[in-house]
Every structure is written in C-alpha cells, then in structure tokens.
Structure 1
Amino acid sequence: MGRMPKKNSLTVRRVLTLLLTYVLLAVSGGVVASVFFVPAVMAANHVARVVVPTLKVEGIDFDVTSMPQKSTMYASDGSKIADFYADNREVVPIKDISVAMQHAVVAREDRRFFQHHGVDVQGVMRAFMSNMSGGDTQGGSTLTQQYVKNVLAMQAREDDDPIAEYHATEQTVARKVREMLIAVQMEKKYSKMEILQGYLNIAQFGTNNLYGVEAAAHRYFNVSAKDLTVVQAATIAAITKNPAHYDPSQEANLKESEKQRNITLQLMLGQGYITEKEYQTAHDTPLKDTLNVQPIANGCQTAGDAAFFCEYTTRQILNSEEFGKTQEDREKLLKEGGLDIHTTMDVKANAAAMQAARDTIPPEDPSGFEVSIAAVKPGTGEVLGFGLNRTYDATDRAKTDSTRTAINYAVDQKDGGGMGYNVGSTWKPINLVAWMLQGKSINQGLATSTVYRNSSFNCNGHVFYGSWSVQNSGGGTVAVESPLQGLVLSHNTTQAAMASQIGLCAIADTAKTMGYHNSPIGHEDIYDTNSFQPPMVIGTVQASPLTMASVYATIAANGVACTPIAITKMTDARGKEYQVPSANCHQAIPPEVAQTAAYALNQAVVSPNGGAQDAQLDNNRKTFAKTGTNEQTYMLTGGFTNGVAAYVAVGNAEQPVEFRYKTINGQYARTWYGYMIATPAWKEFMNTYVAAAGLPDDPNYGNPAQQYMQGGTASGTYGGTSTRRGWQNGGTGTTTQGGGTQGGGTLQQQQ
C-alpha cells in the first residue's frame, strides 16, 4: 500500500510561497508590469515555468454533464423501479435551480464570487499572512477553487487512486496553489453562472453519498431544486461545510443544523439577497417543521416487488458487451452514467405474478418450497414480470431468513438465478413440434413399450448404449397411442416411441429452435452430456421458468421465437442512446406447426380426460396449457392465452426435495402432481393479469393444419392406470379424428 506524502519541507514551502505570490500577481489584473523585473519575482516566475506544467490537470473534464450521476430504471408505463448510483447526484442546469439557492451558496461560501477572477486576493492574502507567520494553513478558497477541488477528488475516486484523492484534499499550501492555478484557467473558459452551476451539482450536501443540490432538495424537502425557498436553500447551503454534523436528516444534528441555517440567512441578509422580513420569518421557523425527509433509495434493494425484475435487468446490463468492454466498465456506467433505463416490465403483470406466488405457498409456509413464475409477451421477447414467494433481500439478513433471497429462481444461473428446474412433462410440446417438423401426423398410431434400447435414439454420430426403462405415471404403458393423445394424456411411453422414430437430435434441434437452453452455467447447450440423454424427452433437463415461458411463447406467436429482453431503450446523461440487446424475433417453426401444437395444448385443457383441465381460464377463455411433475420434486405448469405466456415451477430451488407426504399451504397429500399446486398458481396469475390488462380473447387461435392431422388406424388395449382423476384407461375404444381412429379412453375433438 502506498504511503501518504509528508508535509512540505521548509524549502518546498518557500518555493510554494513564491508561487503563491506569482498567482496573486497573475490574477490581480492591474499590477504594475515592472514588478515582473524584480529579481525575486523573476525567480518565482522561473519556478512557475518549471512547476506549473506539473500542476496542470490533464484529462480532467469540468463539464457538469461528465460528473457521475445516478441512473434510473423505469417500468413500461414510465413509473420508477429503482435508482443506481455511486454518488447520489442528478445534474440540473442553473435555470432549474432557484435563485434563492444560488444566493444562499454564494453568501455562505464566496461573497465576492461575482467580482474575483477565480482567486479571491483578499482571502488569499489573509491566509498567506497566516501561513508566513507559521500559523495554521488557512483557506480563502473561492467557489471556483472548491469546484476544482471537488472535481479532482471525484476523478481520483473514479480512478480508484487514493494518493491522488489525498493530494486533492490535503490541507497544504501545495494543494491551494494547484487549485488557484486551475481556477484561473477555469474562469477564462467558463462564465460565472457555469461555474456556479458546476459547484451546485458537485458539492456534497449530506451523508450517504448525497451530492448536488437536486438530490439534496429531494432528500430533505421532497421538492426540485427549482422550487427551493429561502429557508430551504439556507438549510442546504449550510450543510456542505460539515456534512456529517450539519445534515438535518439526523436527529442529533437538528440543533446545529438550524444554527448553521440561521448563519446563512444572516449572511444573505447582510449581502442584500433577502429582506429583513424574509430573514426574520425564515429565522423564526423551526427547522424540523420545514423538513420532509425522503428515504435513501439505491439499487434493487429498494424496488419492492419489482426487485427481482430489477435484478434481472441489471444483470442484462452487466453481462452485455454493448454497454462496455468489461463488467467493471458496465457497472461504472450503471452507477455513474446518469442512465435512463426503460424496461419491458408490466407493473400489472409483475404484481399479479408476485401475488400469485405468495398466495400459492406463503413465504413463511413450513414446507419452505419456492414458487417461481415468469411471464413474457409472445412475439416480442418482452419479459413482463416475475413472481416469487420470497422478499428480495441482498443483505446478510437473507442468510438467516429463508423468506428472503436475492436469487431470482425464475431466470438462468448466469442472470442471477439458480440451476433451474427439471421441467417434467411440460417438455412434451417440444416433442410434438419436433414430430411435425419431420413431416409426421400427430394422429399416427405408435406402438409403445416400457423398455427401449438406447441405440434406437442414435443420431448424427451420437451413440447411446444400454436401455431405458420408462413407464407412465400410473405404471405400465399403453399398447398403441398417437402423439396427440400422448400429449393430452401426458403419457411418457409415447414420448419414447416418438423419439425412437425420429432420433434424439431432431428433438434437441427443435428445442434450440424454439428458444430452449439449460440453466446451469457452462452447460447451457441442450447437447451438453448432462442433458442430452434419452430421458430428456420426458423433461429431465434443467431449465428456468423464463426459458420455458419463452418456448411456450413460440407456440403462442404463430411460430415466432424471440430471445427474452428486459430493456427497450437506454440513454445516458448526455442523451447518447445505447444499442440494447435485441429480441432477435424470427420465424422459428412454420405457423401451421405452431397452430397445430397450440390445438393439442388446448385439447389438454378442454378434453374430459385432459391433463390440464384445471388450467381453464375464466369466462371460457381459449386456454393452452401443459402440466408436469418431476419425480415428486417439482410441480410445473406452462402455457399461454392471447397476449401472454407464463410458466410456473414449484419446489426446492436449491436442491431436489420430495413433496411426498408433505403439507403445503395447509393441504396434505401422499403424492403431489403439477395440477395440484403449480396449475392453480398459473391460473391465478393469468386470470388476474388478463383482467387487469384487458387482453382480448382469440378463440380462433389453435386451428390445426390438416396435413398434421391425417393418420391411419391406431387401436389396442391400454395397460396401466392414469392417476389423473382416477380415470381408467385400461379398456378399448375408438375415437374418430382426422380420418383415422385412436385407441384407448375417450378424446373429444374441440376447436
């Protein structure tokens, strides 16, 4: 660690004294020219020529818009989600700062501000005489010099340079001379009002990194700087002398803060900025009666129920090279760039999702299971909101309070989420789409089995060994079944039969085409060895609810797939507009395939024996859904209606914990299924949001293409029992559909 420099030696002190004399002569303007021929002054002049270049500050930008400013994130309706800052500052032009505030700071800090040229000769001479006599190093700094000091210190903080910051604030003649030389240059470049504007925007007006008069006005009085009154302005102007002790938001500071305010009022009166009456009225007003202190709000921690969406959005900024070469650069941009970040978050959707998650399993429920909900707008990639039955908390409290977390389990691990959930039967629509992309009918009869040779799934050089034992949730298999029935009745053996015909690669490729990827970092590709195995066709993969919602959105959007996006527009303090990550919406699967898949998902809801009956939305709204259960560890439901696609996952997000014999939200069951917990959560969210947003129904969506409905005859005796509603599928039967017949149970075609 670098050592701080020692105080100036006597020799250096003499040199700096000569420099001080030189500066005073340089700024006096009318001093007799012959004085520069005095030998001592010529010596000083020579020293100045040698030293001054080293005192000039290269690369320092005194433009007020270059100061670190807080960034603000907004929902899609323009309401604020959160602020982000290293320095709590919002730069405003001088025209938006009240005259009272301008007068207050000049009266308090630099009464001759409008007369001097950057250095106040009278003030400096007073300090000079004290320093020459061996007294304490004194100031005499003008507002211009203070502006310079603040900029230099700010630059040092940004550069993470403690030595430079020390030099910018040390109480030495060297620092004073440096400030004066730069101040003189400042006054040549900027007008008085520009300098005053800079000072009012950079000065510290309170604790908690509170900088600039606009932030101070909001903090103490909940007004804008342009609306500050005399008494308010005097209060703020007094703080900068000693922010720790004069900050009026601290109860212990009230008495001293009021005293300092009154000193400022006296100075304003003495300098003619206010009348005697104005002074007396302000002086007699108790400080505490003028305050309207607002809480310090910084980061997603302050965003309430929008915090999980906020965290996801900040991750999009920190992970995107569009916003900086390194993550450090991107974090600096977020906290100092004065960004306006406009997001896709629908306040109604986010609120509905958070409420549904908490209603389904309250945060304090003894079961401890998480509910994670993600919602997207089909055809746009826009993330509408998230729901978790937790309170967002990035503090240490979350380590000991299980109802709090900063992990958004609805998103991928790289976006601040978890490892993902095994998606179970909610994967099956992907199999159906893959089947159709191979030109096959969803009414084709398939012979099924409980044991498959893994070699039957080989494809594109991928070789699988051994065998896979698979059965339906009630045990056993079905003799012959179509892919449509396999989806509607959620039979696993039919999925295996489909995969054995078209190969596992066709299904993996389709998943990627529809927007699927795994959640764990480093294993995102579906072809990763951890996921690319035959059982993936019944959902053994690990994915986030957001990814699965996007997959369902592809079916909902007539086959258009989009990458999830959270940001629609982003500009900085200077008006620069950044290129935000694109949704890259494109036609991923043919519309007729998407429509037919949607038809099948609707049949799962409306058929008497469909596995997603409980997902039917209010007012007989056209509903498309699929439920799932994974090894008694996760309950899941995905689906869509016109205007929104959503996915719900329920379980222990950290590691699999069985539901079996558990009581959840007061309900006990020996065995749990997705329709019992996840589906009611999905339905509550969808009904609430659809009503709040006024989304119209589209009863015509999900019109199947005849080319995928044609089929031969399929018949047979089903083995095993469906646990769904106790319905027995052990008999024989036929159902006419698309020109063919299907065996097993009853399936009514409804469109």
Structure 2
Amino acid sequence: MGRADARRAAQGRNRRAKPKTKAKKGGIRRFFTWKKLLGAFLGVCLLGILGFIGLYLYVDVPDQGNAAATTQSNVYKYADGTVMARKGLLNRETVKIDEIPEPVQHAFVAAENKTFYQDSGVDLKGTLRGVLNTLRGRGKQGGSTITQQYVKNYYLSQEQTVSRKLQEIVISLKVDNKLDKKDILAGYMNTSYYGRGAYGIQAAAQAYYGVDVDKLTVSQGAYLASLLQAPSQYDWAIASEAGKKRVQERWAYTLDNMVEMKWLSPEDRQKQKFQEPIKPKPLPGVAGQIGYFVNAANDELIRKGVDEKELAAGGWTITLGIDKKRQQELEKAVKNKLTDDLKPDVRKVDRDAQLGAVSVDPKTGHVVAMYGGAGYTKHYTNNATRADFQPASTFKPLIFASALENHAKTQSGVPITPDTVYDGRNRRPVVGGTKPFAPPNEDERSYGRISVQQATNNSVNSVFAQMGADVGLDEVKKTAVGLGMDGSRMDVQPAMTLGTMGASPLQMAGAYATLDNHGKKVTPSLVVKAEHGSQETELPDPIGSQVLTRNTADTVTSVLRGVVNDGTAKEAIGGTDYQAAGKTGTSDDNKSAWFVGYTPKLVTAVGMFGEEAKGGKQVTLKGTGGGGRVNGGGYPAKIWAAYTAAAIGDDTGAKFDLETDLGSGGGPVNTPPPSQTPSHTPSQTPSQTPSQTPSQTPSRTPSHSPSQTPSHSPSRTPSKPPESPPASPTAGSGGSGNNGRPPGFDDLG
C-alpha cells in the first residue's frame, strides 16, 4: 500500500469514528421543555405571591359595616307605581358573647367551622374551590370559615365575584389577627340572618323558641346553627318534608361534631331530642293585606333566585301587579258577603271561618288582587297561598282536561266528551281502577244515566271517580302538575279524583287561568318588577308554553259555562250580564268550600277554610253564618260574583273566543236518535233525574234547560231519592246502540 492509500484509509477510519450529531428539534417542541415549564410555573407562583402581598397591603379593614349593618328599606309599590309599603328596620338586637350559653356557641362552631379556634381565619382550600366555581359560573359555593362569613356579613356584600372573594380573604386574615376569636364568633352570630325576619341570635331565639338567647338549650342552639345554611328551606313552619328531613340531619350532624370536639359527652348527646320551633308570629309594622303582599312578594323573589340575605338587607324597589281598585273591590266583596254575616261572639264556628282569594289576569299572569285573611297581624298565615286544604271538586275539570288531552275512552271504548253518558249512581264501584273505590255523591244523591256536562254541572263524584280510572290516575296527575298544582301533595290514589290533595287559591287560579288562556301555561306572579339600586332583576315570564291543546282548554271552558248557567253555582252567579265559567268545590267533611271562576279577562279563585281559632287545626265550616253546610255555591260563589261584577266594570260584553263545538257553549255531539233512547216508565223510576226521562236529547246539553237545575242540585234537595236500578256488570259495549243503549252511553263508566 502506498502513502496515498494509507492516508485515505486513515481518513476513512476517522470519518467512521466521528460521533453522529443529533437532529435539531423542530417546531413547537423547542418551547415546551420541562425546564421551561417549571420556570413558567414558578414565575406564575411568584407573581401570584407578589400580587397577594400587594393586595394585602392595599386592602384595609373597612371602618364601618356594610348596607345590611346600616340598614336600608325595601320599597313595595302598587301596579300604578304608588308606594304600598316601606319595610327595612331589621329585627336585630346585638348581644355580648357572655350572654350566649357556651354550649350554644360550640353548636355554631361545630355546625360551620370545627377548626375555628385554631385556624388563621381563612380556609384556603375551600376558598380556592369557591373562586374556581365562581369563575365557572356555578353560583354560590361553601367553604368559608366563620371569620370569612362574619367579614362577608358585616363588611362586604353577598355578591359572588372573584374580586369580592379576594377582598374577603385579605380582610379575614387581618380581622383574625386583630380581634379575639370570641369577638369574631359574637359578630358572626349577631349578623347572620336566620329567616322569619330575624337578624342575630337574640332575634332568632325569640322568633323560633320564644325565649331570650341566654335560655337556649343545646338542642335549640343546634337547630338555629343548622338553620343558617338555608333559612327559608329549613324553617320548620314552612319547610317541605324533604326540608324538615335535611334540617334534622344537619341538627344531628352538629351534635355529633360537638361530641367529636369533646364539647358534648356521648351520654348527653343521646339525651338530646329535636325541639320543634314555635309557629311564626308577625312582626309589628305591616298590618292588613299589605303584610300578606310583602311576605308573598319576598317569598316569590327568593323562589326565583334572589338571594334571601341580600333581599332582607334592603335597598330594593319591588313593584307588584296589585291593582288598587280591584283590591278594594275584593276586600269589599269579602266584607259584604261574608264577614258582615259572621257573629263570632255568638257562634263559635264563625270564629273558625277563614277565607283566601287570588285574582289573576290570564293574559299577563299578574296577580291583580289578593285576600290573605283578616289581616297579617291578626292571622299570620296567608290564606291565598296556603296549600293545606282540599280543593275538592274544583279539581274535577282537570280530570276532564286530562281525558280530552289523552284522547281517553270509557271502559267500553267510547271517547270521553262532554256528551258521553256515564252511570251516576251513588256509591257505584269504579271499574278498572287501581283499587276498590265507590265514592258517595254529595248528600248520597243518585243520578243514574248522566252526561259529562250534567255531571260537571252537578259535581257528581261517581262519574269523575270512574273517569279518573278511564284516563289513568298517573295521567291525571301529570296534567294537574302541568297546570301548576303541587305534585308532592298528590298521592296517586283513587280518592285524588275527589280533590283530596292540598292546594292553594293561588295554584287553582293558575290552573284555571291556563284554561282561560287557551291552554298556554299561566304561573301567577305577584311581582312585576324588582330593582336593586340601578340593576333590574330578570324575572321569568308568567306566561309559559302550551301545556294543553287549545281545543282541550276551550272545551273545558265551554263545559264550565254550564256550571255557572245551570249548575251548582247558578243560584249565586246565574243571570249575570257577562260570560263566565267556573266550578264549585266542597270537601266531604266540609272543612273547605271553593269557587274558582273566570271571565274572558279575569280569573279568580275563592277558598273558604275551617281553621280552629286557637289550635289552628282544620275543623268543619258547617253552621257558619247560622246556616247548615257551607257549599262552594254559597259564600265563595257570592264573593266571586260581587267582586267580578265590580272588577270588570263596563267590560261586560267580552265573550270567550272558543275553538270548540263541544260542551254547553256548543251543540250536542253524538246525540242518539229518538228511536235509540232508553225508555223508563214512571213506575220504574218514581224520582229519577231528568237525564233519565224520555226526553234524552235535551239532557245532553243541560245548560240550555234551566228547569233541570232544581232537581239536580244536592243543596236544594234535602230528601234522598230512590237509587236507580243497578247496571248490568257485563253491559257497556259502547256506542253500538245494542241492548237499547244510545251511542256514547257506557254502563260501566
């Protein structure tokens, strides 16, 4: 090998031995190395720390309390803008920590912040969670210490913003350094809102247990501490069953925490019994109907999302839909038609008579008049919004609406319409139901063969009990809830067809307003506008979506015109110069009596209730006013008629715009020809109702036959007529006309 070859060989070896260089990183990977990411994270942390230090130095503890501490008034206005009431003096009496029993102090710490005596005043983990949830728009979140809650109550506002939360953290740290823990706890207990208009532990002790704070027991203190989480939901007087269960669970949780913290022995814990609070008493200052308006408006705003504590702090201007003229006419009607007739000093039963009424504009959904009772300071419970009495037969139109909406048929396959003929015998067993059920008619009256229109006019229980089974009770409940009734008060049982659930005049006014509004949902609203400072709160529209077809709603309205013209309400309302529809209701034990009626432009529900003057339990109305049984066609219908005539004024020519040819407003449908009409001789039915007379066709539209009314009205027929012959259990094939039955008649229902 020559020199040149050797040199080339050496150069080749050198090239092979030279290490390979790595390929350059390209694109976005150059910017995201672990070193750069760590550096960026540490930089953000450093900026956060520096920012917090700056914030800590910049934010000072305010020299005085916030608006809630200084107190503002809420202004309530009528629909025309005139001031109805100003309410804002807080029910608060500040007490020193030494006046609060130590076990009660411990109950509040155990319920809200077990580490209160050891922490620095801030729960960083819980606060961070709250800030993140606020940024995500998830609303109010827990996680605050007692110190933070005191700072929020006394120095800041209830708004949920990141800036307010950061202020809260800084001020809480400074307050924890500045004040003794006992002073912070006293401030928290004195500034918290407990519901019932009570600010502070002293006012709460009086509102819920009728004692001063130094007399509170451990059990009572645990309830008041538990109450702070949700005052309106946990107030025993108005809480739902679910609310009562939750507050009892929180009460037990509080006591268990006291045991854990060695503040209560296990033996004493076992001795503790939940003490139910006393009934609420009205605060002085807002008397008469205005007290009912203010409370109902506040409750409505809270249900619609307004913060309860912020509302109680004041500074709101709230406009109600109450029309002063109509309100005066409603109060006048109650006085002239009921209270002037009562003599509570002579008749004990007259002391127990309560009345509630709600009047709604079906086009806007606004409550234009309301009667809550004798006066807010005399009778705390608002009879217009209470839902503990049975609506009785005012529920029946909702069963019929469900039948039409679901295209239901009788047991024999006959479509249910106003002209479908049922068996109206007294105590006739329901066929095809979920359970055996054979309800009595009012005064044990038997009606024999009777159309749906006539059965509605005369409120025949046996017909609607069967109709409920024909439609299906679950479907009936679904329709009722869709119309605004409270499903939690409605057990799916055969008796629900008689209106045995609880309901308020407000709810029934809403259901009937939906019928009047051609099936478009009406949720009665007392509040028209709510402003806090320069901001107006967005409220949901009282008029909702279509929940019934127009044909269904208009058909029910047409049928209900028959009740006014020729049915149970005729005596009180018949002969008016305006079109009206409605339904009476009387519970079988006579603890409630109703009339819910409407014109094309106004819906009003009137409920009369028997409530023991002292004990508050439900009692009979029988004998009120010196008469016998109190029917819906009596006092309630008379009040409705007097008020409505005055409230509609000159607008008496308004007519229902109905898209239906069924019911009393239209002609008879599927009327059997005379040759198919069953024949009943006088010897067979000596006192049959007109629906069993040879003149079958006219009985299909009883609203056009005034002469039939007296024989159908139980209130005007004290004697019990003989029952009609029992129908064959195998009969009822429907509209085929076999066995002498006309089309539309069903022996089994």
TM-score range, shorter chain: 0.5 to 0.7
1:546 aligns with 2:515: no
Q: Secondary structure at the match of 1:386?
A: strand
Q: Secondary structure at the match of 1:422?
A: coil
Q: Secondary structure at the match of 1:332?
A: helix
1:658 aligns with 2:615: no
1:432 pairs, out of 389, 395, 400, with 400
Aligned position for 2:529: 569
CA distance in 2, matches of 1:676, 1:73: 35
Alpha-carbon spacing, 1:454–1:64, altered in 2? closer, same or farther (3 Å): closer
TM normalised by structure 2 equals: 0.53
Aligned position for 2:580: 623
The 8 Å contact of residues 633 and 651 in structure 1, kept in 2 or not, is answered as yes
Alpha-carbon spacing, 1:532–1:357, altered in 2? closer, same or farther (3 Å): farther
The 8 Å contact of residues 597 and 702 in structure 1, kept in 2 or not, is answered as no
Alpha-carbon spacing, 1:153–1:699, altered in 2? closer, same or farther (3 Å): closer
Shift of 1:370: 0.3
Amino acid at match of 2:367: V
Aligned position for 1:495: 464
Aligned position for 1:72: 75
CA distance in 1, matches of 2:568, 2:681: 17
CA distance in 2, matches of 1:364, 1:741: 38
The 8 Å contact of residues 373 and 386 in structure 1, kept in 2 or not, is answered as yes
Shift of 1:619: 5.1
1:83 aligns with 2:45: no
The count of residues paired between Structure 1 and Structure 2 equals 454
TM normalised by structure 1 equals: 0.53
The 8 Å contact of residues 578 and 652 in structure 2, kept in 1 or not, is answered as no
1:445 aligns with 2:421: yes
1:474 pairs, out of 399, 422, 443, with 443
CA distance in 1, matches of 2:681, 2:618: 32
Q: Which moved more, 1:730-739 or 1:694-703?
A: 730-739
Structure 1: gaps of 5 or more residues: 1-49, 89-150, 169-208, 210-297, 325-329, 394-403, 412-416, 458-463, 720-725
Shift of 1:700: 4.3
Aligned position for 1:406: 380
Aligned position for 1:679: 637
Shift of 1:82: 1.8
CA distance in 2, matches of 1:747, 1:486: 13
Matches within 5 A, 1:17-96: 57-58=60-61, 69-86=72-89
CA distance in 2, matches of 1:307, 1:449: 47
The CA deviation string for residues 334-360 of structure 1, in whole angstroms up to 9 with x for no partner, is 433x22212222222222223323334
The 8 Å contact of residues 457 and 562 in structure 2, kept in 1 or not, is answered as yes
The 8 Å contact of residues 69 and 154 in structure 2, kept in 1 or not, is answered as no
CA distance in 2, matches of 1:534, 1:153: 51
Q: Secondary structure at the match of 1:375?
A: strand
Amino acid at match of 2:570: Q
CA distance in 2, matches of 1:426, 1:582: 26
Alpha-carbon spacing, 1:300–1:534, altered in 2? closer, same or farther (3 Å): farther
Shift of 1:372: 1.0
CA distance in 1, matches of 2:392, 2:548: 23
The 8 Å contact of residues 444 and 482 in structure 1, kept in 2 or not, is answered as yes
Amino acid at match of 2:587: N
2:497 pairs, out of 531, 537, 540, with 537
CA distance in 2, matches of 1:489, 1:535: 18
Shift of 1:718: 12
Shift of 1:153: 12
Matches within 5 A, 1:119-268: 155=155
Matches within 5 A, 1:322-721: 323-324=306-307, 330-336=308-314, 338-362=315-339, 365=344, 366=348, 367-368=350-351, 369-393=353-377, 404-411=378-385, 417=386, 419-439=387-407, 440-451=416-427, 456-457=432-433, 464-465=434-435, 467-517=436-486, 523-524=488-489, 526=490, 531-573=491-533, 575-607=534-566, 610-616=567-573, 620-631=577-588, 632-653=590-611, 654-660=616-622, 662=623, 664-665=624-625, 667-669=626-628, 671-691=629-649, 694-702=650-658, 704-706=660-662, 710-713=669-672
The 8 Å contact of residues 711 and 740 in structure 1, kept in 2 or not, is answered as no
The CA deviation string for residues 255-282 of structure 1, in whole angstroms up to 9 with x for no partner, is xxxxxxxxxxxxxxxxxxxxxxxxxxxx
The 8 Å contact of residues 82 and 303 in structure 1, kept in 2 or not, is answered as no
CA distance in 2, matches of 1:736, 1:493: 22
Q: Secondary structure at the match of 1:469?
A: coil
Alpha-carbon spacing, 1:747–1:432, altered in 2? closer, same or farther (3 Å): farther
Amino acid at match of 1:302: V
The CA deviation string for residues 220-263 of structure 1, in whole angstroms up to 9 with x for no partner, is xxxxxxxxxxxxxxxxxxxxxxxxxxxxxxxxxxxxxxxxxxxx
Alpha-carbon spacing, 1:76–1:731, altered in 2? closer, same or farther (3 Å): same
Amino acid at match of 1:536: M
Shift of 1:684: 1.7
Shift of 1:685: 1.8
| CA-atom RMSD in angstroms | 4.4
Alpha-carbon spacing, 1:469–1:538, altered in 2? closer, same or farther (3 Å): same
Aligned position for 1:201: none
Aligned position for 1:732: 693
Amino acid at match of 1:689: A
Aligned position for 1:198: none
Shift of 1:313: 0.3
- Identity over the aligned pairs, expressed in percent? 17
Alpha-carbon spacing, 1:504–1:300, altered in 2? closer, same or farther (3 Å): farther
Shift of 1:86: 4.7
Shift of 1:545: 0.7
CA distance in 2, matches of 1:65, 1:516: 36
The CA deviation string for residues 490-541 of structure 1, in whole angstroms up to 9 with x for no partner, is 21111122223222223222212222226xxxx34x3xxxx32112112212
CA distance in 2, matches of 1:304, 1:742: 41
Alpha-carbon spacing, 1:603–1:59, altered in 2? closer, same or farther (3 Å): same
Amino acid at match of 1:352: E
CA distance in 2, matches of 1:302, 1:711: 58
Shift of 1:645: 0.5
Amino acid at match of 1:645: V
Shift of 1:746: 6.1
CA distance in 1, matches of 2:302, 2:370: 20
Q: Secondary structure at the match of 1:349?
A: helix
CA distance in 2, matches of 1:606, 1:476: 21
Shift of 1:373: 0.8
The 8 Å contact of residues 300 and 311 in structure 1, kept in 2 or not, is answered as no
Amino acid at match of 2:403: W
Q: Secondary structure at the match of 1:516?
A: coil
Aligned position for 2:217: none
CA distance in 2, matches of 1:153, 1:448: 63
Structure 2: gaps of 5 or more residues: 1-52, 92-150, 159-167, 180-198, 200-281, 408-415, 710-749
Q: Secondary structure at the match of 1:428?
A: helix
Shift of 1:603: 1.3
The 8 Å contact of residues 344 and 567 in structure 1, kept in 2 or not, is answered as yes
Q: Secondary structure at the match of 2:608?
A: strand
Q: Secondary structure at the match of 1:589?
A: coil
The CA deviation string for residues 102-141 of structure 1, in whole angstroms up to 9 with x for no partner, is xxxxxxxxxxxxxxxxxxxxxxxxxxxxxxxxxxxxxxxx
The 8 Å contact of residues 716 and 744 in structure 1, kept in 2 or not, is answered as no
